Chain A
Amino acid sequence: MNDSAATGENTNYYFDNAATSWPKPERVYGAAEKQMRSMFGNPGRSGHTRTLEADRLIYKTREAVGRLFNIKDPARIVFTLNATDALNMALKGFLDEGDHVLHTAMDHNSVLRPLSRLTKEKNITSTTIPCSAEGYPSLEKLKSALKKKTRLLVINHASNVTGTIMPLKEMSDLAHAEGAAVLVDAAQTAGTFPIYVERLGIDMMAFTGHKGLLGPTGTGGLYIRPGLDIKPLREGGTGSQSELDTHPEEMPERLEAGTLNSAGLAGLLEGITYIMDTGLENIRKHEQGLHRYMFNRLTEIPKIKLYGPPADHHCACIISITTGQADSGEIGYILENNYSILCRTGLHCAPLAHQAIGSFPAGTIRFSPGPFSTTRDIDYLVNALQDVCAMIR
């Protein structure tokens, strides 16, 4: 992938795009700054030109998200702080007292922790669908776990630990056949994988803006299909119907209260525009190639154990490894201090996933190249890991 930001001064080898993407396309930085300097009105509030410019920007961003995810009505997309915020909104706004929820072992704490609270406060029950060492869920177990009272299936589209892609259609079809709704966590796939939200009949989908969508932190959103209403997580100022003491019912304002992150959304618009201009398929192919290359090169180092699907599988560009009994945090520290390599170590907010793949409680060292990474970066990483592994007894 080409972009001026990616070819500028770069003193780091960045392998942590699953946490947040870097670098961003140059236009993303510029758009956020331009918004703050000249399109600074509070969207939806006043009637002056600066506000209208901000309103138009928010509208365009919503439309761009809709185009990317093949959603016909952008009013069904609400902006949130990130994917965690969107998942909280979906789980706490949708689930009622006594509901049953299914999710997989590959889910992130952004799903597990809200479910834990809802178990205590709303008496909901949840069942974890076990996953293989490669991170794939058992569809048979899913089928048998679907009960009469199952109201929701949560699907983590791609694991943030192994990059494993869940069989979205098969899982959605099974849930819908039993009358359960489907909530998709697209934190690791939005911007890299095509997602036909309406064709798949997805009921709700959470996404973040600062990973694959290449936007700033503090951006994200939740899609809610037409006909489905969830309770708002927060209520307050919208700039509309100010005389009423109740929050407006009309989407998207129904689920958006308080001033939106206009500067962030300006950057997000440019991130999505970059993806559309470059081609989602081109980005996916590039990252798939990097994944395969990195997987194969890492197998050259005998002390490294790789987790997750093999190189020829369709998966997100994420690889987890361990190096014998060496502490993953210490290896990460050496990689940064001696080689300027940035990666993420530990449990990656997904303890059940590490239990499934056999790396709990020590965790793994995770490498996640991005759209601007190259095979040369990976060669550098592999050479560094060869040096580091030589130090391990």
Chain B
Amino acid sequence: MTYSCYITFPTIFYAIRAEEILKSSSYKNKMLPVPRSISSSCGTALNCQCNDINSIKNHLLENNCKIEGCYKLCEEGLNTLSVEELLIDE
């Protein structure tokens, strides 16, 4: 089993804004299509390390980037075993 984390956005504008903001940071991340198990307004999500998701979320919000949700997926191969929605307003 592996875990992967995603941040979703209300529009592609904010997904690209997130990518731009994180360019000048050391957080590892990449833009990926939103997994089918997550509901999102925008089809592109930011995939990041689960240890970093809380810091990344705060960094994005501080830089006027709207986010829609934060998720932790438990996966086995190509199967998603569970999805945990993380609170945005922590």
Contacts and interface: CB of A to CB of B under 8 A. Distances in A.
B17 A59 contact: yes
B13 A239 contact: no
B11 interface: yes
Interface in B72-87: none
A62 B10 CA distance: 17
Given A73-B64, A253-B11, A56 B16 contact: yes
Interface string B1-20: 00000000011111111011
Main secondary structure, interface of B, reads mixed
B11 A250 contact: yes
Interface residues of B, number: 20
Nearest to B12: A44
A6 interface: no
Which of B12, B15, B34 has most chain A Cβ within 10 Å? B12
Which of A45, A73, A250 has most chain B Cβ within 10 Å? A250
Interface size class of A (residues with CB under 8 A): 20 to 34
Contacts of B42: 44, 239-240
Contacts of B19: 56
B20 A59 contact: yes
A59 B43 CA distance: 16
Given A59-B20, A73-B64, A241 B12 contact: no
Q: Which 8 A-B pairs have the closest CB atoms?
A: A47-B33, A59-B16, A44-B12, A250-B10, A241-B41, A240-B41, A253-B11, A250-B11
Interface of B: 10-17, 19-20, 31-34, 41-44, 64, 66
19 contacts: A44-B12, A46-B33, A47-B33, A56-B16, A59-B16, A59-B20, A62-B13, A74-B13, A75-B11, A75-B14, A238-B11, A239-B42, A240-B11, A240-B12, A248-B41, A250-B10, A250-B41, A250-B66, A252-B11
